[in-house]
């Protein structure tokens, strides 16, 4: 383990680490553009230039001493790049010396020569590494009076990525990502000198399932998403940590929210799960249902028409209608989309209130989405949790014989929690033979319209809870959107702009939905039946679940947050807490586990 001195601080690091790695592991940022911890070292931006010295040795190999008796250091005349220089014993590195800072400022001046001044209309503004460094590591002036180079703009690389060649600083992160992580080696440098640009090899398209990750790692606004372009300035948004709803991978995400709508989903670093990456599918296809076409109030069927009503009325209608039904004719389906907390409450409600053993959940599998990284055949975020909690108990009626039991008249009531029956047409078609369908639903659909009672359920973006991914990792997440239920807590968390306008705000008229988390609906219903289920927070349900289900024993939200998730049965021995590298400091950092750079002034 070599020890070296960085800006006067002694640091011990593993053999083979480069200066930049050792620095960031100890909370020190050395400015850089092309380096990224998950990509090979390219060493082409020169932003990480530092002074490097090594102990002087005499002819016998002994370290020479200076006049104070300390090892004499011989500095290499030329500055070295910290991203490609391995640390060695006794090395001395200066990253904020006059010489180093002057070099970093010179690189910034060079990079900005041809970079367009279109920050006011650039999507990256507010979260741009170049913009940030222009502030922190540059003189703030240019001596360049000639015409800037002009290069192609709005080039379509693929379905989800657009390229603006003028903004590119030729760091090659995108090229290396394509080759090394996405394994689709289609990007390359073309031309030379100030004409250099990035291009696709002839006849290729950047259409990888991971293609949009280049947008995040691009240090400037050269790569943008057609899905997000010009939708919002990032400083008008809040970025709240969440877990991907797309599949069972448990990928960590940030939900970019403005005006109570999700505008963007992007990866949140978790080195134990998704590292720095996210699939395009997880970014693009799992937020529209949150923003649009929602069930916003409880509804009950009156004279064969669904009518909006109050929660209290919906609860009492439920009790009244269910009073005529024997337990054996009730089938309860939980969901791999619902949190562990909601599935736990559903199981409790089915056994303690409805007294039925008929409980199960449906899997949503698509083998075509599977790959050897984050792509996952399981299209729900929590089927592993649903199984672990015991929804699959092989009761007398289960998912396999449900249609037959409905058709034979044995099952008269179907209680569906956060399940849309997508991919199960035979169950959907049997619904008309039921006496009653009760749903906890997100959206207003054909299925919802068949129900006798509709409870509007909070989506993952409006809930606090946990999901268990396909590898058994339990991860906690909090709401990113405001509902009537979480108004008080979210009102403290979000700015007024992020959340929603008030009646007198003329700039917005977003709906404030009266949806509730399913565990809350079930505990309220339990109270109708005399149960003392007075859970006020998801945490209270989780704590009970963790006591009663052995795989969750000793888990709590604090432990899950600290370790960015804990595997089932491993609460006593969780994965170590690791440092998460953040490329763009101005990108969202409101996750406690994010690595925060040490601050120091280079000037
Ligand atoms: S497009 Fe972005 S990531 Fe790719 S080389 Fe240019 S600056 Fe780097
Ligand atoms: S980060 Fe070292 S040369 Fe680019």
The phi, psi pair for 187, rounded to 5°, reads: -105, 145
Residue 516 predicted with pLDDT over 50: yes
Taking the CA atoms of 417, 378, 385 and 458 in sequence, report the sign of the dihedral they define.
negative
Mutate to test the pocket of ligand 1, among 154, 186, 219 (most ligand atoms within 8 A of CB): 219
pLDDT of the residue at 279: 98
For residue 324, what are the contacts with CB-CB under 8 A and spacing of at least 6? none
Kindly state the average pLDDT of the residues 384-399: 95
Does pTM surpass 0.85? Answer: yes
pLDDT of the residue at 598: 32
**Of the ligands numbered here, which is closest to the C-alpha atom of 223?**
1
Does the Cβ of 43 fall within 6 Å of ligand 2? Answer: yes
For the segment 443-458, what is each residue's pLDDT rounded down to a tens digit? 999 999 999 999 999 9
For residue 11, what are the contacts with CB-CB under 8 A and spacing of at least 6? 3, 4, 5, 22, 23, 26, 87
pLDDT of the residue at 496: 58
Please state which of the ranges 209-213, 289-293, 360-364, 391-395 shows the lowest mean pLDDT. Answer: 391-395
Q: Where are the domains of the chain?
A: 3-112, 119-131+144-224, 299-460
pLDDT of the residue at 590: 45
Could you tell me the distance, in angstroms and rounded to a whole number, from the CA of residue 20 to the centre of ligand 2?
9
* H-assigned helices in 376-486: 383-389, 402-407, 425-430, 446-449
For the segment 25-44, what is each residue's pLDDT rounded down to a tens digit? 998 899 999 999 999 999 99
Taking the CB of residue 221, how many other CB atoms lie within 10 A of it? 25
Residue 515 predicted with pLDDT over 90: yes
DSSP percent split of the chain into helix, strand, coil, nearest 5: 30, 20, 50
**Of the ligands numbered here, which is closest to the C-alpha atom of 170?**
1
**Of the ligands numbered here, which is closest to the C-alpha atom of 20?**
2
Could you tell me the distance, in angstroms and rounded to a whole number, from the CA of residue 32 to the centre of ligand 2?
5
Kindly state the average pLDDT of the residues 365-381: 97
pLDDT of the residue at 539: 97
Could you tell me the distance, in angstroms and rounded to a whole number, from the CA of residue 589 to the centre of ligand 1?
23
**Of the ligands numbered here, which is closest to the C-alpha atom of 32?**
2
Does the Cβ of 83 fall within 6 Å of ligand 2? Answer: yes
Confidence of residue 498 (pLDDT cuts 50, 70, 90): low
Closest ligand 2 atom to 43 CA: 3
Q: What residues are paired with 16 via a beta bridge?
A: none
Does the Cβ of 45 fall within 6 Å of ligand 2? Answer: yes
Residue 284 predicted with pLDDT over 70: yes
Could you tell me the distance, in angstroms and rounded to a whole number, from the CA of residue 568 to the centre of ligand 1?
40
The class level of CATH for 3-112 reads: alpha beta
Kindly state the average pLDDT of the residues 485-496: 75
Could you tell me the distance, in angstroms and rounded to a whole number, from the CA of residue 168 to the centre of ligand 1?
5
Are the C-beta atoms of residues 215 and 284 closer than 8 Å to each other? no
For the segment 136-194, what is each residue's pLDDT rounded down to a tens digit? 999 988 899 999 999 999 999 999 999 999 999 999 999 999 999 999 999 999 999 99
pLDDT of the residue at 530: 96
Show the CA angle centred on residue 540, arms to residues 534 and 545, nearest 5°: 110
pLDDT of the residue at 311: 98
Q: What's the token pair of residue 356?
A: 């039925």
Residue 603 predicted with pLDDT over 50: no
Same fold, 3-112 and 119-131+144-224: no
Residue 489 predicted with pLDDT over 90: no
Does the Cβ of 169 fall within 6 Å of ligand 2? Answer: no
Does the Cβ of 47 fall within 6 Å of ligand 2? Answer: yes
Closest ligand 2 atom to 46 CA: 3
Does the Cβ of 46 fall within 6 Å of ligand 2? Answer: yes
**Of the ligands numbered here, which is closest to the C-alpha atom of 95?**
2
Nearest CA to ligand 1 atom 3: 218
Are the C-beta atoms of residues 291 and 266 closer than 8 Å to each other? no
Could you tell me the distance, in angstroms and rounded to a whole number, from the CA of residue 24 to the centre of ligand 2?
14
Q: Measure the CA–CA gap between 424 and 376, rounded to whole angstroms.
A: 20
Please state which of the ranges 139-148, 288-297, 532-541, 579-588 shows the lowest mean pLDDT. Answer: 579-588
Kindly state the average pLDDT of the residues 323-328: 94
For the segment 569-587, what is each residue's pLDDT rounded down to a tens digit? 999 999 999 888 888 765 5
Does the Cβ of 33 fall within 6 Å of ligand 2? Answer: yes
Whose tokens are 């309860």? That residue is 332
Kindly state the average pLDDT of the residues 319-339: 97
Does the Cβ of 49 fall within 6 Å of ligand 2? Answer: no
CATH number attached to the domain at 299-460: 3.40.50.740
Could you tell me the distance, in angstroms and rounded to a whole number, from the CA of residue 208 to the centre of ligand 2?
26
Q: What is the mean pLDDT of the chain?
A: 93
Does the Cβ of 133 fall within 6 Å of ligand 2? Answer: no
pLDDT of the residue at 94: 97
Residue 302 predicted with pLDDT over 80: yes
pLDDT of the residue at 586: 57
Q: Measure the CA–CA gap between 175 and 172, rounded to whole angstroms.
A: 5
pLDDT of the residue at 125: 94
Are the C-beta atoms of residues 166 and 151 closer than 8 Å to each other? yes
Q: Which fold has domain 119-131+144-224?
A: Alpha-Beta Plaits (3.30.70)
């Amino acid at each position: 383990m070599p020890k070296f001195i960085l800006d006067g601080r002694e640091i011990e690091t593993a053999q083979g680490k480069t200066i930049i790695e050792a620095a960031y592991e100890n909370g020190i940022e050395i400015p850089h553009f092309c380096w990224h911890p998950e990509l090979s070292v390219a060493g082409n931006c020169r932003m990480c230039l530092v002074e490097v010295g090594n102990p002087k040795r005499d002819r016998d190999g002994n370290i020479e001493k200076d006049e104070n008796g300390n090892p004499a250091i011989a500095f290499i005349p030329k500055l070295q790049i910290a991203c490609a220089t391995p640390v060695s014993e006794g090395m001395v590195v200066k990253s904020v010396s006059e010489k180093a800072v002057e070099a970093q400022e010179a690189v910034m001046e060079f990079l900005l020569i041809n970079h367009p001044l279109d920050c006011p209309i650039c999507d990256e503004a507010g979260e741009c590494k170049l913009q940030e460094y222009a502030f922190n590591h540059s003189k703030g002036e240019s001596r360049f009076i000639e015409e800037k180079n002009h290069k192609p703009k709005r080039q379509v690389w693929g379905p989800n990525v657009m390229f603006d060649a003028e903004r590119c600083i030729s760091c090659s992160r995108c090229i290396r990502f394509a080759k090394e992580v996405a394994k689709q080696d289609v990007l390359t440098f073309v031309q030379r000198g100030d004409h250099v640009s990035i291009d696709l090899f002839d006849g290729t398209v950047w259409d990888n399932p991971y293609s949009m990750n280049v947008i995040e790692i691009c240090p400037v606004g050269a790569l943008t998403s057609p899905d997000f372009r010009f939708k919002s300035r990032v400083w008008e948004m809040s970025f709240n940590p969440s877990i991907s709803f797309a599949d069972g991978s448990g990928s960590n995400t940030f939900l970019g929210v403005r005006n109570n709508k999700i505008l963007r989903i992007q990866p949140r670093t978790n080195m134990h799960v998704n590292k720095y990456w996210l699939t395009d599918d997880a970014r693009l296809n799992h937020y529209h249902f949150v923003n649009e076409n929602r069930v916003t109030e409880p509804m009950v069927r009156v004279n064969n028409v669904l009518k909006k009503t109050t929660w209290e009325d919906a609860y009492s209608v439920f009790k009244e209608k269910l009073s005529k039904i024997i337990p054996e004719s009730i089938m309860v389906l939980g969901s791999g989309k619902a949190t562990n907390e909601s599935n736990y409450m559903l199981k409790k409600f089915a056994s303690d209130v409805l007294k039925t053993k008929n409980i199960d959940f449906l899997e949503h599998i698509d083998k075509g989405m599977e790959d050897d990284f984050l792509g996952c055949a399981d299209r729900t975020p929590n089927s592993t949790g649903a199984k672990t909690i015991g929804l699959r108990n092989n009761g007398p009626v289960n998912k396999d014989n449900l249609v037959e039991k409905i058709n034979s008249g044995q099952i008269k009531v179907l209680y569906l929690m956060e399940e849309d029956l997508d991919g199960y047409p035979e169950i959907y078609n049997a619904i008309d033979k039921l006496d009653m369908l009760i749903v906890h639903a997100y959206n207003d659909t054909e299925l919802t319209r068949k129900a006798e009672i509709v409870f509007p359920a909070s989506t993952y973006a409006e809930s606090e809870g946990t999901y268990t991914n396909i590898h058994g990792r339990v991860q906690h997440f909090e709401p990113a959107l405001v509902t009537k239920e979480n108004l008080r807590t979210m009102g403290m968390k979000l700015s007024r702009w992020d959340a929603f306008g008030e009646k007198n705000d003329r700039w917005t008229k977003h709906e404030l939905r009266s949806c509730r988390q399913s565990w809350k609906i079930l505990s309220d219903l339990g109270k109708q039946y005399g149960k003392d289920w007075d859970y006020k927070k998801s945490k209270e349900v989780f704590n009970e679940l963790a006591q009663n289900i052995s795989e969750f024993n000793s888990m709590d939200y604090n432990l899950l947050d600290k370790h960015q998730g804990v595997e089932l049965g491993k609460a006593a021995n969780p994965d170590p807490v690791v440092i998460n590298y953040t490329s763009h400091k101005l990108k969202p950092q409101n996750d406690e586990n994010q690595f925060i750079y040490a601050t120091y002034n280079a000037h």
